[in-house]
Structures are given as structure tokens and as C-alpha cells.
Structure 1
């Protein structure tokens, strides 16, 4: 899943980015109100983590939140602020935020609120995904095949989850990078091929079929169950 973080404090933004990325989310960072609006206008996100006090607009994060709601009514918005007054909380919620967390906060709380918002979102996927004899359990980021539990790293889970969520559709390497990493990823070009290999090694024991198909020149596919 993809998360947009709009935070002008570079150090805090990086801490949030790393915490979310280590959990398996693809994260995009914007440091100003106009930058956050532009990022949301040109891409699709499952959640927005939005600071209230942002440069670039007179009403800062409130203006960003209102613009997000003009574009999309469903994307969850988690608002961050150092202001702990009831008036500020009410104003944030009235602007369209779904939840509110006051700085300073613990990362475990941020991650818990993130999970809760994603579960409640209209786009949220079923609690269990199944395809080709494999069951994927998002709550534990594990896969089960023939009674065998398979532990996955956050990136392995992100890749497999996206393929299973889109079972029956060929997914390109670029699309997988955008989903499991982020739009600014500049690492080695065969990262997707590497993680597909990791998944195949974990998902299939000798004698078991490979559920991830390679379509040369197009991408990867997990067939949908009939």
C-alpha cells in the first residue's frame, strides 16, 4: 500500500518514512502544502499522513486536507499537529481528517492508527486473500500453503499482496516498484526480479507448482481462482 506523508520537519518526516517503509508500505514525502497537493493530484495513495502546520498556504495542512477531499472523499487522512487544543482537533476533523495525533507521539501509536484507518477505508481489502492454493494473511504478513506457514519480509509481503490482490492481471515491474517501494526509487533495476525469486523459493517446495508466472516483456501474474 502507498502512503503520502506531508511533513515540513525533514528529520521527523524521515523517521516516519523509515517506520512505515520497514512495515512494508511504499512512502512518498512532501515538505510543503503545495507539494502535498501536487503529489496527491498526480498519484494514488491508500492513506495520507498530514502535518497541520505546513508552509506554502495560509491555512497549511487544513488547506491540503480540504483539497484532498475535493479530489477524493475516501482516502483516509491522519493529521499530525503540535497543537493540542480541542478547537484545533475539531477544525482538523471538520476539514476532512479521519483521525488526529498530537506531537510528540510514539511511532507504535502512529503505526496502529495507520493500520486502523486502512482497515476502515472503503478500499481496504478482505482480511484474507486466496489464490492458487495460497492464503495470505495481512494481519501477520504470512502466507499459508498446504498447511505450511511461510514468513515473509515486509517487501516480500508487499509484492505478493499486490499480485494476489490483482490475481488474473499481469503486473509490470514498474507497477510493483511503485506499489512496494515508491515513485522515487532509484535502486538496482532488477529488484523486482530478485524479490520474485525470493517469493518463489519460499512459496514452493519440491514438487509444488510455481504460482507466480512470468510473462516475458510484460510482467508477472498470479492466476485468479475459478
Structure 2
């Protein structure tokens, strides 16, 4: 059973999430404050973390940054829970490495589907072992990404985005296709999520960020002939 850590100070919400995940064969652990949640994440190294932004003791953004700096937890996917008014915090969360987010109030069924989609893409071994495209190299079994033979830390979502585009070299990918294949979204309402991840990816790909092209009116593409 995959283990899910729920860091949420509202006890009723935490219990509701836990109940629905357990019904779908996940093991759950709950923490009701930020510091306790961070300590549990470091101790149990769960398969996924559901993280509220507004927490006593330590806020979700700080927790996420700390998790992404620690080699024990940096690859653990994170779903952030936010209030609808916290748009900028939500974008900041994505920029600091969160894989997905949900705004309160949310459907427990949708949350379970998001968890299942992320767990599936992070646990499934891809066919083949090594893929090389220009300065990029992927080890599909260890989910390690190399830029000019130097390992670069990518979140599971960033890795999935990059390999999806590289396996379709020079073929522009529609935004809706990327949202569906990488996140499991069925519409374009989460386009800001895609753009935020691409912005963060470009920073990590320097000085080769020009291989990742924006195709106006379509979406994104990895090219083997980047503009200079």
C-alpha cells in the first residue's frame, strides 16, 4: 500500500481526506501542524504528501521548500491545498516544486483521482532505460535527468513533461494534450499550472533553455535545432 502523508490543521478535512484515501487502498498518516508534518515527512518518507498552505507552526510554502532541499524527500510528489483567494500563494507553491494543487472546497473524489494519477506516473517504470536528446539525458528507471552529464533535480512532474516532449522531438504538443497526459486534466482550466512548470523548467535547463520552445497558439515543443 502506498503511504500518503496529510498535513492539514483542519481536523475534519484531514479526516475526510484520510477516509477517502483509505477506501481506495492507500495508507494514511495525518499531521495537524507544519512542524509536526515536516518531521513526519522526513521520518516516514511517504509516497505522496497532501499539504495545506496555511498551517500553524510552519506554512506550507516553507515546508515544501525544505522538502525539496532534502535528498530524502526532494522526489516525493506534493499536492497543495489552497483557499480560492490564495492565487499568488498557489503559483508560488508550484514554483517551489509542488506537483499539483486543489482549491478548497474540493471534491474528495477529485482529490483521490489526482493522487492516483500522480502515484501512477511516479511508480511506473517506463520502457527502455536511457533516452538522450541533445544535451538532455534521461534514466527512466531511476527517474534521473542529466544536463550535459550533470544530474539536475527535477520533480516527478517536470521529468514527465520533459520526457513526454523529448520523445516527440520537433513535434509541437497542444496544451490540452500536455495537461491530459501529464496531469490527467480533461480541460484547459489549469493552463496556469502548465505555464508555471514550464517557467521553472526553463530556469533549470539553462544554458540550454532554448531547446524548450513555446509554440504560439499551440503549446510547447522540444527541438533539436534551437534558435540562437
Question: TM-score w.r.t. structure 2 length?
Answer: 0.52
Aligned counterpart, 2:74: 73
1:111-166 deviations in Å (ceiling 9; x for gaps): 11111111222xx0459xxxxxxxxxxxxxxxxxxxxxxxxxxxxxxxxxxxxxxx
Q: How does 1:118-157 map to 2 (within 5 A)?
A: 118-121=119-122, 124-125=123-124
1:80-95 equivalent positions in 2, closer than 5 A: 80-95=81-96
SS of equivalent to 1:93: helix
Q: Which residue of 1 aligns with 2:34?
A: 33
Tell me, in whole angstroms, the C-alpha distance in 2 between the residues paired with 1:10 and 1:85: 21
Matched residue of 1:55: which SS?
A: coil
Q: Which runs of 4+ in 1 moved over 3 A?
A: 83-86
- The CA deviation at 1:6 is 0.1
Distance 1:89 1:24, change over 3 A: same
Moved more, 88-97 or 33-42: 88-97
Q: Distance in 2 between matches of 1:85 and 1:103?
A: 10
Q: CA RMSD in A?
A: 1.5
Shift of 1:44: 1.9
- Structure 2 Cα separation of the partners of residues 30 and 85 of structure 1: 22
The 2-side partners of 1:109 and 1:96 are apart by 21
How many correspondences in the alignment?
123
Superposition deviation, residue 103 in structure 1: 0.2
| Distance in 1 (alpha carbons) for counterparts of 2:36 and 2:84 | 22
SS at match of 1:50: strand
Higher radius of gyration, 1 or 2: 1
Higher relative contact order (CA 8 A, sep 6+): 1
Give, in whole Å, the separation in 2 of the partners of 1:79 and 1:32: 15
The CA distance in 1 between the partners of 2:31 and 2:117, in whole Å, is 23
In structure 2, runs of 5+ residues without a counterpart are: 127-228
2:74 alignment partner, SS class: coil
- Cα distance change, pair 50–26 in 1 and its aligned pair in 2 (3 A): same
Q: Offset of 1:96 from its aligned partner?
A: 1.6
Superposition pairs of residues 43-122 of structure 1, within 5 angstroms: 43-57=44-58, 60-71=59-70, 72-121=73-122
Deviations 1:199-226 (A, max 9, x none): xxxxxxxxxxxxxxxxxxxxxxxxxxxx
Q: Is the 8 A contact 1:3 1:25 kept in 2?
A: yes
Following superposition, the deviation at residue 85 of structure 1 comes to 4.4
Distance 1:29 1:85, change over 3 A: closer
CA distance in 2, matches of 1:88, 1:114: 21
